[in-house]
Each structure stands twice: as C-alpha cells, then as structure tokens.
A and B are shown apart, each in its own frame.
Chain A
Amino acid sequence: MTTVGTDFLDELEAYTEMARVAVLSYVPDRGETDYLVDPALEYLGRSGKGLRPALCLATCEAFGGGVEEAMPTAAALELLHTAFLVHDDVEDDSELRRGEPTLHRTFGRALAINAGDGLAVFALGALRENERRLGRRLASRIWSEFDFMARQTVEGQAIELGWQRDSRNDLTPDDYLDLIMKKTCWYTTVLPLRVGALIGSKRAVDLRPMLRFGFFLGAAFQIRDDVLNLTGSREIYGKEPLGDIREGKRTLILLHLLAAATSSDREQVEHYLAMDRAERSDTAIAEIFAMMQDHGSVAFAEEFARGIARSAAVAFDEAFADVPESPARRFVRELVPYMVARDR
C-alpha cells in the first residue's frame, strides 16, 4: 500500500479546520429558520476530507499569497461541494454519507433539497466577499471561473443520470473520462488549483498546465472513489458498499466489465442494468461485483488510477515549475499519492 505521511495528514487537517471555521461564518446563525439552518449545517458538521478548500489554500500559498486571501473562495468551494452532495444523495437515494444517514433520510426529501439550495446561496455570499478582499477585477475573474465550473458540474451530473435512465451500455473509457472531467474534476481539483494560483500570483500565472494537473489529479480521485465504493470499508469509507452497482453507475469498472465479459456474462450485466433499481437484489449485485473481480475490472481501474496519478506527478512538475519549494508546494505534490492511497 502506498503510504501517506502523517505530516501530510496533519497539514490537510489544519487546512480543513481553517476552512471549516470560514465556511460556518457564511452560514447564518440567527435570523434564518431552523428548518433551513439545521439541515444545512448537518453535513458541514460531519468530518469530510476537506480536499477542495485545502487544495485552494495551499495552491494560493505556494504561489505567494496568504491563506486569508483565498479563504472566502475556499469556503465557497466547500459550501458548493456540500450543496452538490445533498442533491446527489437525493438523486441517487443514497443511504449513508460520511458514515451517517443522508440528509433526505433524516429531514425528508423536500427539506434536504431546499437545504442544498441554501448551501449554494451561502456560497454566493462567500464569493461576494472577494470583491472587498481582492478587488473587483480578480473577484470578477474568480466569479467567471466558478460560473464555468458550475455549468460543467451540473452538465456532468445530468449526463451521468441520463446514462442510467437510458440504460446506456455503449460507452467507452473516453466517455467516462469526459464525464468525470465535468462532474468531478472541475470542482474538486481544477477549480481549486486555478483560483488558488490566480489569487496567490495576483493573476500572473499560466493556467493551462494547471488544468492538465487538475484533471489527472481529479481523475485519480474519482477512479479511486469508484474502487472504494466496491472494496472500501463501510465504517471508514462512510457510504453503503456496492452502492454504485445498485445505482447502475457507469463507472470505469462497469465499462471495463461490459467490454471484457464473455457474451453470456455481458448479457447478464445488460439484463441487470435494464432492471429498475428496486428490482436489483443483493444477490444480483453480489454477482455483478464477482464478475468485476473475475474479469479484472477492479484491477484495471486500480491500475488506471495509478497511471493517471503518475501523469499527475509529471503534470505537477510542469504546473509548479516556477514555484519555489515550500511546505504548501510540497503539500500539493503529496496530494498525488494520497488520491490513490486514501481509504475514505
């Protein structure tokens, strides 16, 4: 197993804690009804990884800025991420998030959806503070970056849900990579890197290498997530095991299985995917998982994640070539092995 140093985990925790305080400052603690604030605070109080704000803050520091300059942006990232999670859990009807019942299972679907909307609105408040801290020009640029990211993310989510609804079985790894660029990478890694570098460098940065690094890093993250969904511990990973198979998600693992399976196995998989979710029994799910192992689909995805991570390591050198060595720069570099070694 690839190891991740305790120093790195301590630094991640430190960035996460700083961002958590900032995030909570943008959630109203008075004057708003508990029907909104209580569910909105629920996920924020659970211990998430805090990757997105940490990446944004560390990149800003690495490029010469101070964490306080990027704090509203980092908070907006976490608020928007949490909003996406709430709605994602409703769309997938997931049972668990971070080891506890999902928001809609606790508060009901309607209040959960509204809380997700509220979290996105709170993110707008955080972004608005950029004008005061960074000036109108840079704040406007960050707004444009968020605008582009948000459009990519909701489009990616729509594509994934559409593939499931239409029972699409004709997809390739290209389709999958394009999907995860939209639905995951842009808001998880690409945007945090881009806005962190913009703020830290006062806009004097070439963002193209950052996009390359961000995509490889985010893809490694997503593929690892797909693997953890199948093989991770329920207690540590915090979601219901085999949830992606139950939902019929078109992960890289499933696409590999569809390509590698014998004709009879493929027929069985396609029959399974054509079922309504409620018809998918635990036995049927276990059989699909066994096929994924038998056909090397899980191993393929694990190697794919490692391959992408190797590319990310090379892309990091390019994106941070002119950035002097510092603890923040090292932290960002160490995110690469972390993405494929993490168990939650």
Chain B
Amino acid sequence: MTAHRSVQGARGVRHLIEDVQRFGLFSAATVVDRYTAMVDRAIVDDRLASPPSSWDGLDPGSLVDRAARLGEAYLRFLETTAVIASRAGGGEPRPEMETLVLPPARPAGSSETSLWIHNPTSAVSTGMEVAVTGLISSNPATIPAEAVWVSPQSVDRLDPSTSREIRLRIDVPRDQPAGLYFGLVLISEFPGDPVSLVLKVEGVEEATS
C-alpha cells in the first residue's frame, strides 16, 4: 500500500494534480475541439442557429450590461483569496474552486495580479510553497510554466490573523495564439485545493480595436 499512501501526501497530490493538468486536461481540450468540428459538419444547419459571432448586431443596452458584468466579475476575481481556516485539517479538494482571472494581455505583453493568503486561525503556519503550472488552451496551445513569475515562491511563516500577498505575472510569448488559457496555482498548505488561473490572450485585432 505504500505507493497509494505516498500519493496522498502533499507533494504526491501536487504532482498528481500537475500530471492531470499537463496530460489529461490538455487531451480533454483537444477532444472537445475535434468534436466541435465534427458536429458542425454533421448537423449542417447549425449556422442558422448561430448568434452574431462578434459584437456586431448587439444593441447598446446589452453592451453596457455585458461590460458591467465583466467589470463585476473582474473585481470579484481580483479579490480571490486563499483562506487557510476553511481548509485546515486537510479538507477534501473542491471542484468549484476559486478562480483568479488575470487582466487580458497581448502577445509579447504581460499580465499581473495578486493572490492573498490569509491566516485567520490562532496557529502559526510555516513552510508554505507556492507554484504555478503552465497554462493551456483548447487551441491547443500552451504557455510554459517558465513564463510565469511568482513572488514569493515560499512563505516561511504566516502569523495568526495576518495575510501575505503573492504576486503573479505571466509574460506572454511573442507568437502566442489568441485564446483563453487555464492554469493552476498550487499552495502546499492545501495541496488538493488549487486556485484556477485564467488569462485571455488577445489577438492583434482585439488588442488594437
């Protein structure tokens, strides 16, 4: 049973998550793309049902609504935090995990945001490590983990009722295809409970319009 137990440890779970992220979810995204093309060919009148594919044809009211909704979502995501207390004791991972949305960026640009770790417990938390996976999209394309900058990468000590800011920056490679990219922030304190990372890489037309 040793192998089984070993994957339950923090490091094992982290590697497990990274493996799933790297191999499984990438494969899943490509399956979706393959079937999207297939179903469009098979059900030929699909285009009759398609709504406008761009902002064209939307009335001003819906544009305002959409902008307000995006703004609200953006603020909410910026406030995304990792709270130690709610996950103390090795709580089970949650599929409806928190999501951190970075500001959109264009190729050769960068996007930066903060993640706050709070310790509202009465105990000192020590030796936390923070890691970020590479990002994947359904294009399929990836942004390698080397393009992600995290500071600090470890928090030696977090006293009770204190917080620590973690800065994240993604340097988008020059030839990166446009699309929505997904990654994970992994914090050793709660290894099975990562924070989802979302970055929109804009195409040239979007960035200049």
Pick from A28-36, A85-93, A116-124, A209-217 the stretch touching chain B: A209-217
- Provide the main secondary structure of the chain B interface: helix
Q: Which chain B residues in 122-148 approach chain A with CB under 8 Å?
A: 138
Q: Quick one: closest B residue to A260, CB to CB? A: B3
Q: Quick one: closest A residue to B196, CB to CB? A: A310
Quick check: is A26 within 8 A (CB to CB) of the other chain?
no
Q: How far is the CA of A333 from the CA of B55 in the complex (A)?
A: 26
Quick check: is B64 within 8 A (CB to CB) of the other chain?
no
Tell me whether A307 and B3 are in contact (CB under 8 A): no
A-side contacts of B16, CB under 8 Å: 296, 299-300, 303
Once A206-B51, A308-B28 are accepted as A-B contacts, the answer to whether A337 and B96 lie under 8 Å apart by CB is yes
Quick check: is A144 within 8 A (CB to CB) of the other chain?
yes
Q: How far is the CA of A13 from the CA of B8 in the complex (A)?
A: 35
Q: How far is the CA of A215 from the CA of B36 in the complex (A)?
A: 11
Tell me whether B95 and A337 are in contact (CB under 8 A): yes
Q: How far is the CA of A340 from the CA of B96 in the complex (A)?
A: 10
Q: Quick one: closest B residue to A141, CB to CB? A: B45
Quick check: is A278 within 8 A (CB to CB) of the other chain?
no
Tell me whether A173 and B4 are in contact (CB under 8 A): no
Pick from B18-26, B78-86, B109-117, B154-162 the stretch touching chain A: B18-26
Quick check: is B88 within 8 A (CB to CB) of the other chain?
no
Q: How far is the CA of A207 from the CA of B13 in the complex (A)?
A: 35
Once A141-B49, A203-B49, A307-B21 are accepted as A-B contacts, the answer to whether A296 and B3 lie under 8 Å apart by CB is yes
Tell me whether B25 and A212 are in contact (CB under 8 A): no
B-side contacts of A337, CB under 8 Å: 94-96
Tell me whether B7 and A299 are in contact (CB under 8 A): yes
Once A141-B45, A211-B35 are accepted as A-B contacts, the answer to whether A310 and B95 lie under 8 Å apart by CB is yes
Q: Digit string of B18-59 for contact with A (CB within 8 Å is 1, else 0)?
A: 011101110111111011100100110110111101000000
Q: Which of B23, B92, B95, B99 is packed against the most chain A CB atoms within 10 Å?
A: B95
Interface residues on chain A, number (Cβ under 8 Å) = 50
Q: How far is the CA of A206 from the CA of B17 in the complex (A)?
A: 32
Tell me whether A1 and B46 are in contact (CB under 8 A): no
Q: Digit string of A176-211 for contact with B (CB within 8 Å is 1, else 0)?
A: 011001000000000000000010000111111001
B-side contacts of A308, CB under 8 Å: 24-25, 28
B-side contacts of A311, CB under 8 Å: 25, 28-29, 182
Tell me whether B95 and A296 are in contact (CB under 8 A): no
Tell me whether B43 and A144 are in contact (CB under 8 A): yes
Quick check: is A145 within 8 A (CB to CB) of the other chain?
yes
Q: Quick one: closest A residue to B138, CB to CB? A: A212
Tell me whether A205 and B92 are in contact (CB under 8 A): no
Tell me whether A173 and B95 are in contact (CB under 8 A): no
Tell me whether B95 and A314 are in contact (CB under 8 A): no
Q: Quick one: closest B residue to A145, CB to CB? A: B43
Quick check: is B186 within 8 A (CB to CB) of the other chain?
no
Tell me whether A148 and B42 are in contact (CB under 8 A): yes
Tell me whether A307 and B24 are in contact (CB under 8 A): yes
Q: Which of A211, A296, A300, A311 is packed against the most chain B CB atoms within 10 Å?
A: A311
Quick check: is B2 within 8 A (CB to CB) of the other chain?
yes
Once A294-B2, A294-B4, A307-B25 are accepted as A-B contacts, the answer to whether A178 and B31 lie under 8 Å apart by CB is yes
Q: How far is the CA of A294 from the CA of B5 in the complex (A)?
A: 8
Q: How far is the CA of A144 from the CA of B44 in the complex (A)?
A: 9
Quick check: is B152 within 8 A (CB to CB) of the other chain?
no
Tell me whether A1 and B4 are in contact (CB under 8 A): no
With both chains docked as a complex, state the minimum distance between the C-beta of A299 and any C-beta of chain B, in angstroms. Answer: 5
Tell me whether A215 and B4 are in contact (CB under 8 A): no
Q: Digit string of A291-311 for contact with B (CB within 8 Å is 1, else 0)?
A: 001111011100111111111
**CB < 8 Å neighbour of B28 from A215, A298, A306, A340:** A215
Q: How far is the CA of A212 from the CA of B33 in the complex (A)?
A: 8
Quick check: is A313 within 8 A (CB to CB) of the other chain?
yes
A-side contacts of B31, CB under 8 Å: 174, 177-178, 181, 215
Q: 24 interchain pairs (CB within 8 A)?
A: A144-B43, A148-B43, A173-B27, A177-B31, A178-B31, A204-B49, A207-B46, A212-B36, A216-B32, A294-B1, A294-B3, A294-B4, A296-B3, A296-B6, A299-B4, A299-B8, A300-B20, A303-B20, A307-B25, A309-B95, A311-B28, A313-B95, A314-B99, A336-B96
